Copies of this chain bind each other. A is one copy, B any other.
């Protein structure tokens, strides 16, 4: 009767795919049972036939992006020669990060979930496998799991993004406010001035999230490499 073409009878996969699409477009807050239902051309209560409830839907949502990362990593590594463990780990986390950047709502959602999604166990297993094969003890590998644990999740929030300062129009500060801030936070002010100068006055791009991420990742990788050789 309706103009909406829909002959496939709906399924858990279609519901989750629509939920990801909705979250990408309007954020997680927008994915309510009612709105998701109407997006998929159905009444809210019909969703309960494919998903036990809102909470399970959110769990499914994080599983969906973790699976996307899993697939991206598999594609990256297939038919590839052997690499050392640092390169392997490095590229995996960079790939995971790129997937998270496609779904900026995901890290926040993962952080609020109380149970650890089953889909990440596969990542633990893979990471453990490469570390142990590289000579890590299970104890050191366990520490690495904790240390790297929040790597793909963090770093989505920029430190000083222009939009983070406040509302829509009040980004511009008065000279008096700037003076006041410079007085209260002299080192912060000096740092911003120094970095902006080096970057050629490009105020918007002075925090390069990708570069910062790689720096931290390499710092950790170097640290574990040192631990490894010290214990050998």
- What residues of chain A have their CB less than 8 Å away from a CB belonging to chain B? 107-108, 111-112, 114-116, 121-122, 124-125, 128-129, 132, 138-139, 141-143, 145-147, 149-150, 153-155, 157, 159-160, 163-166, 184-188, 190-191, 194-195, 198, 207, 212, 215-216, 219-220, 222-224, 226-227
Contact = CB atoms under 8 A, between A and B. Distances in A.
12 contacts: A112-B112, A124-B188, A139-B194, A141-B187, A143-B215, A147-B219, A149-B159, A150-B153, A153-B154, A219-B224, A219-B227, A222-B223
B125 A187 contact: yes
A165 B212 contact: no
Nearest to A193: B138
A111 B107 contact: yes
Given A121-B185, A128-B191, A165 B115 contact: yes
Contact of A159 (B116, B166, B190): B116
A216 B220 CA distance: 8
Contact of A150 (B115, B150, B188): B150
Contacts of A111: 107-108, 111-112, 157
Closest 8 CB pairs of A and B: A128-B187, A150-B154, A146-B212, A219-B223, A138-B194, A138-B191, A147-B216, A125-B185
Given A121-B188, A187-B132, A223-B223, A147 B116 contact: no
Contacts of A145: 159
Contacts of A116: 157, 159-160, 164
The residue among A112, A114, A163, A226 with the most chain B CB atoms within 10 A of its own CB is: A112
Nearest to A28: B112
A207 B163 CA distance: 38
Given A111-B107, A219-B147, A129 B195 contact: no
Given A190-B138, A195-B139, A223-B222, A155 B146 contact: yes
